Amino acid sequence: MKYSQFIIGFLIALARFLYKEDKDIVTTQYVHKSERVPYAFDGYKIVHVSDFHNARFGRLSKKLLEKIKEADGDVILITGDIIDRRTPNLKRSVNFINQVVKILPTYYVTGNHEAHYKRFARLEQIIDQSEMKNISEASARLYIGNEYIHLIGMEDLWFYGEEEDHLVTGRFESKLKERLEDKDDRLTLLMSHRPELINLYSKYPIDLVFSGHSHGGQIRLPFVKGLYAPHQGVLPKYTEGIHTKNGTSVVISRGLGNSRFPFRVFNHPEIVIVELKRDVHG
Ligand SMILES: [Fe+2]
């Protein structure tokens, strides 16, 4: 075999590998057992979707929508970066918004990409006109019959100011505090894009936080769980799974699309399912 043929063969194999790493969606399931789960919510399934970044998953996002349907949940929570600010494809995001809401009631909060997306006002308007409930600046309750749990929404940190502004986190925190004021002591879920704020979240009576942002660290190698995440840097701590601190568990989705770094390695796009289980001994 000629050297050039070998190189071409290698490049084709590499492209195929990277394509599969980027497009084959995996579903990860967790169970959250607690005595704080109301009777009516025993077995309630939350489908957590994050960081779509207007990525392509088959024609009209068909492969992604199928995966979400297969999850057979009760509610869908979308935790930001539904668009990519550097390579936006508004049409693809709009199609996803209008299709996903047909599956289950869907709640959404913004990510940092929305904060710096030029046509964010337009995107927000489209979401408002859809069935998707944008709770970036609100809190909601999820009901089954007369029983309910709290669902608090937070917009991304960047909506509170620029990165170098040292008051940003303070503003974010006082808004979170304000939103937690109307809640009682029932099970409380928070939707907030950034997992690295775990220390802040865990200061408050929040049971579960749904987050994304870190894209699984983009490249995952044995022993090195994730190589890089925005706002955490190299060898980030919070890239996937569930991290618990002070009674607050932060669920991190590895997300679906990519941003600046154009591919994923050993880090498939992920949909997370969290099933609530009532546990009297919890
Ligand atoms: Fe993202």
CA of 232 to the centre of ligand 1 (A): 13
CA of 258 to the centre of ligand 1 (A): 7
The pocket of ion ligand 1, defined by CB under 5 A, consists of: 51, 81
Minimal CA–CA distance to 89: which of 61, 49, 131? 61
Strand positions, DSSP E, the chain: 26-34, 45-49, 75-79, 106-109, 133-134, 139-144, 147-153, 188-191, 208-211, 228-229, 233-234, 241-245, 248-252, 270-278
8-36 per-position pLDDT tens digit = 999 999 999 888 888 899 999 999 999 99
Coil, strand or helix at 51: coil
Query: Any residues with CB less than 8 A from the CB of 47 and at least 6 apart, and which?
Result: 68, 71, 73, 75, 76, 77, 104, 271, 272, 273
CA of 213 to the centre of ligand 1 (A): 4
Could you tell me if 282 and 56 are in contact, meaning their C-beta atoms sit under 8 angstroms apart?
no
CA of 203 to the centre of ligand 1 (A): 25
CA of 132 to the centre of ligand 1 (A): 19
CA distance 181 to 31: 27
Count other Cβ atoms within 10 Å, centred on residue 263: 13
- What's the CATH number where 268 sits? 3.60.21.10
CA of 120 to the centre of ligand 1 (A): 15
CA of 3 to the centre of ligand 1 (A): 39
119-176 per-position pLDDT tens digit = 999 999 999 999 999 999 999 999 999 999 999 999 999 999 987 888 999 999 999 9
Number of domains in the chain: 1
Per DSSP bridges, beta strands 139-144 and 147-153 are: antiparallel
| Residue 2 confidence (pLDDT) above 90 | no
| DSSP letter (8 states) at residue 234 | E
CA of 53 to the centre of ligand 1 (A): 7
Query: Any residues with CB less than 8 A from the CB of 97 and at least 6 apart, and which?
Result: 82, 126, 127, 130, 132
- Measure Cα distances from 218 to 5, 20, 230 in Å: 30, 14, 10
CA of 50 to the centre of ligand 1 (A): 8
pLDDT at 205: 98
Tell me the pLDDT band of 280, cut-offs 50, 70 and 90.
confident
* pTM exceeds cut of 0.85: yes
| DSSP letter (8 states) at residue 195 | G
What range does the domain containing 139 cover? 3-278
CA distance 75 to 93: 19
Count other Cβ atoms within 10 Å, centred on residue 240: 23
